[in-house]
Structure 1
Amino acid sequence: MAVKPEGAPCWADAMFPDLEAAKAFYGELLGWTFGESSEEYGNYTQAYSGDKNVAALSPQMPGWEGPPAWSVYLASPDADATAAKIRDNGGELMMEPMSVGEFGRMLLAKDPSGVVFGVWQPGTHKGFEKEGEAGAFCWAEVTTRDVEKADDFFPAVFGYGVRTMQDEAVDFKLYDLDDDTVLGRMKITKDWPAEVPPYVNVYFAVDSCDDAIATVTKHGGQVHFGPHDSPFGRFAAVSDPQGATFSVIDLKSTKGDMPKIT
């Protein structure tokens, strides 16, 4: 399995007050199965789509006060060097670089606009074994009100090229590594609820967006936006029954012309 280039999303996980309830929910929604929980690492539990690892769930750490949220990890060949660049560009380290056994080295950080993200330096754990297919991660968007700070910070730390999607309805940028687009950046506008914090919106691919929404609502989750048809797929922004926000998208159901990107 090839190591991801620096700055590319390589892993996603989330902490929950009720781990077993989260496993049941995501197992039904995305077809995930789960490995054995690792007591040594706080009952961190790998999720699988087929036989490929696609994410992880864990109980909330003692003293953790934030609500459940999905975290995206950006690849780095040297987490300590990335930590220095984060500090130098006005970011905040929420968790200093730390080794996770032989699996790799990680940190958690916040950009100057308030977006929390992770960094992963792979050891034996290289990251996603499956992407862009039903049941797996397929996309992520830095979602924030202070887009100028985000657009300065992330390219400075990870070397992204930045392009603009020409769409009057949204303020949207693309973050590129060479010829590959690896992240989006969405502006939170005044039309969004005031309580929505800056975050990274994780997209999981599904066979049917509408069926996914039905599963979310059946279990007490919420639909915040959509379903919406687009040239990229039919998608919706939702939250699970414990409050973690993410998006689901049917990549096969595309509609409309691709927007111009400059």
Structure 2
Amino acid sequence: MAVQPEGTPCWADAMFSDVEGAKSFYGDVLGWTFGESSSEFGNYTQAYKDGKAVAAVVPPMPGQEGQSAWCLYFASPDAAATAQRIRDNGGTVLMDPMQVSDFGTMTLAREPSGAVFGVWQAGVHEGFEATSVPGAYAWAEVFTREPEKTDAFLPAVFPFRAKQMEGDEYDFRTFDVGEETVLGRMKMTDDFPPEVPSYVNVYFAVDDCDAAVARATELGAVLRFGPMSSPFGRFAAVTDPQGASFSVIDLETTEGDMPKLTDVS
């Protein structure tokens, strides 16, 4: 896959104290295989599905030990300029743009409501080599308690066009790059424990949502939501044995009509 347009999710990785445990879990649940790790790059280890790079796992750097979490990266042609827009619009740059050999340049940031995300300026590593196929990245949503902050921030940093879902059941918004819908935003309800901060929820595609959930929970994951069928697919949210939350979605098993979205850009 070529370098993605600015603002498009282009990569995902997560830190795990037990990298071998993570490799075993995701290998079983998502069918991933793993490349060689390099001590030169902090033992960063790429995950592959059918020979195509789909994500990465890495041990925490000294002083960064804590609960594991998936980090989604958005494509940028100029990470330094994106970092400045993040600062200018109420976000926090957690790690200044850093060139990673000839692979590319990365930045980590937090949007104003608290969700952490990454920015990736591609070099030889362009990002996902496959998406929306079983075992690969499929979708992401920012879950936030303060949607008004997130809704103002995201289009100010990336070239997004926003659409709001009609109806009162959920406060849900999507963001488009060009003609492609690339990200969702969901307001967190009181169903979420108060200690859960705003976060980016990453979805990985699977052949069979129920089977993936059964396998994940058998291996020590906790089911948080679902499985539930929707117009977008049958999905469920889980937390892996090391505390990293993610969702699985069977994109082929759909139910119901697509929601109506109104342009609010």
TM-score, normalised to structure 2, is 0.97
Residues 144-183 of structure 1 correspond to what in structure 2 (within 5 A)? 144-183=144-183
- The structural deviation recorded for 1:26 is 0.1
Where does residue 248 of structure 2 map in the other structure? 248
Counterpart of 1:195 in structure 2 is 195
Provide the residue aligned with 2:80 in structure 1: 80
**Gaps in structure 2 of 5+ consecutive residues:** none
Q: How far does residue 150 in structure 1 lie from its aligned partner after superposition?
A: 0.2
Secondary structure at the counterpart of residue 141 of structure 1? strand
Tell me by how many angstroms 1:169 deviates: 2.1
Match of 2:141 in 1: 141
* 1:170, distance to aligned residue in structure 2 (A): 1.2
Task: Output the amino acid matched with 1:19.
Answer: V
Q: Please give the per-residue CA displacement for 1:68-104, whole angstroms capped at 9, x wherever unaligned.
A: 0000000000000101111111110100000000000
Partner Cα separation in structure 2 for residue 146 and residue 247 of structure 1: 22
Aligned to 1:202, the other structure's residue is in SS state strand
* Equivalent position amino acid for 2:199 in 1: Y
1:167 to partner: Cα distance: 3.9
Q: Which runs of 4+ in 1 moved over 6 A?
A: none
Give the residue type in structure 2 aligned to 1:71: C
Distance in 1, Cα, partners of 2:105 & 2:252: 35
TM alignment of 1:12-91, pairs within 5 A: 12-91=12-91
CA distance in 1, matches of 2:52, 2:113: 34
Q: Deviation per CA, 1:153-176: give whole Å up to 9, x if none.
A: 010000211101124321100011
- Match for 2:232: what amino acid? F
Distance apart, 1:2 and its partner CA: 1.7
Moved more, 187-196 or 142-151: 187-196
Instruction: For 1:221 and 1:2, locate their aligned partners in 2 and report how far apart those are by CA, in whole Å.
Output: 34
Question: 2:110 matched to 1:110?
Answer: yes
1:116 Cα deviation after fit: 0.3
TM-score (norm 1): 0.98
Aligned twin of 1:207: 207
SS of the aligned residue for 1:163 comes to: strand
Distance in 2 separating the partners of 1:176 and 1:14: 25
Distance in 1 (CA, whole Å) between partners of 2:191 and 2:128 is 34
Separation of aligned partners in 1, 2:204 and 2:165: 22
Using the aligned pairs only, state the percent identity.
63
Which residue identity lines up with residue 55 of structure 2 in the other structure? A
- 1:65 positional shift: 4.2
* 1:238 paired to 2:238: yes
Mapped to 2, the partners of 1:44 and 1:157 lie a distance apart of 28
1:124 corresponds in structure 2 to: 124
Counterpart-to-counterpart distance in 2, 1:192 and 1:18: 27
**What is the alpha-carbon distance in structure 2 between the residues aligned to residue 157 and residue 10 of structure 1?**
16
The separation in 1 between residues aligned to 2:177 and 2:90, in whole angstroms, is 22
| Distance in 2, Cα, partners of 1:66 & 1:198 | 17
Size of the alignment, in residue pairs?
262
**1:220, CA displacement in angstroms?**
1.1
Q: Which amino acid is the alignment partner of residue 44 of structure 1? A: Y
Secondary structure of the structure 1 residue equivalent to 2:230: coil
